[in-house]
Amino acid sequence: MKWFLILWAGPIALLGSWYGLSYYDMSFGFFMLTRDTHDLVFQIYGHILGIPPEDLPPLVLRAIIVDSFLVLGIIAFRRRGKIAAWWQARRQSAPAALASDESLSSAP
């Protein structure tokens, strides 16, 4: 599971870092981080997909969000036993907590 998360978060972090640095032209002397490269990459992808380059960033963001929900769903499914045990323990301790709150509120 750890490698699954690393292999999911690594490319997203790399893409997000590249996008943010190249969008604001913080190149630090690297050609790949310049705004010119940023525009060129999106022009190439836009040409390949047949859509305007300015439509690509929202589509990529939407894909990352969908993938994130999918990964979180997989994690929740894998840990459903622990989540169910936590929920059950919480439900069992709720009446005791409620009773102690009522005794505090009824005190003069």
Q: Which domain range does residue 14 map to?
A: 2-106
Position 53, amino acid: P
Q: What is the pLDDT of residues 69-94, one digit of tens each?
A: 999 998 888 888 777 787 788 888 76
Give the residue with greater pLDDT, 53 vs 93.
Answer: 53
> 97: which DSSP letter?
H
How far is residue 83's CA from residue 69's CA, in Å, rounded to a whole number? 17
Please tell me which residue, 66 or 87, carries the higher pLDDT value: 66
pLDDT at 99: 58
pTM above 0.75, yes or no: no
Secondary structure of residue 49 in the 3-state scheme: helix
Q: Say how many domains are in the chain.
A: 1
Is the model's pLDDT at 105 over the cut of 60? no
